[in-house]
Amino acid sequence: MAAPYAGQYVTPGRFGGKVAVVTGAAQGIGQKVAERIGAEGGAVVLVDRADLVHDVARGIDQAAKVSGSGGSATSVTADLETFAGATRAVKTALAAHGRVDVLVNNVGGTIWARPYQEYDEDKIEKEIRRSLFPTLWTCRAVLPTMMEQGSGTIVNVSSVATRGMHRVPYAAAKGGVNALTQSLAMEVAGRGIRVVATAPGGTEAPPRKVKRGPEAESATEKDWYQTIVDQTVESSFMKRYGTLDEQAAPIVFLASDEASYLTGSILPVAGGDLG
């Protein structure tokens, strides 16, 4: 069973009475965000395509009962690269709680690292589908509910890799997330809905439990990946990767009522790298 959230910074009760859907919640940034919202009193619906998400949800639920935070967690597996999967996720939240106050779109990530001319057609399409479509679909799936409520917050997780080496298709997908964030924010502000984003830089994390793609095998492939690492550190003023807690904290702030006058904003969280 996953360990309860153990970050330094928790604001008790900040999400009391709120229902938050967090995608990509089985590991990494998504898991940290879900754990923190649960520790701050929110009812969290965790979504992932991996069954591991159920263990994370049970850990959050157990921790909430022990701490008395008021939080709770449920989980659902869904393929968010499809509209059917996104609709399933939102329907699960509505069936459990009757509303959705917060959506955190965290699904995405580089699958392959290589110069653009080394990507074939299939790899380009898979990168775009992995890092753009889950956010497009889940935003579309949740909007009718938020519009009916006249309230809601969507936090998209983008990337500073919109300017970066050896992942052009991923950069294009995250550029799409940025455009979606700003355009949708303008469109729905009058309906009481905020749409914001963070743009993480390099982030230290445990080895992924479910891999996005194959490991680099050849010396050339390893060099291509090392170029990403070197460029990420060099582009950061602080010359280091961030931590999962350092990425989760601004996401949770933007999702909270404390950020009520922020919409259409894309916050770089990359030690000074603006992407």
What are the residue numbers of the active site?
170
Residues in CB range of 22: below 8 A, 6 or more apart: 30, 33, 34, 37, 44, 45, 46, 47, 104, 106
Residue that the structure tokens 């984003």 belong to: 197
Strand partners, 48: 77
Cα 39 from Cα 6, distance rounded (Å): 9
Cα 215 from Cα 125, distance rounded (Å): 19
Cα 18 from Cα 40, distance rounded (Å): 10
Residue that the structure tokens 């659902």 belong to: 76
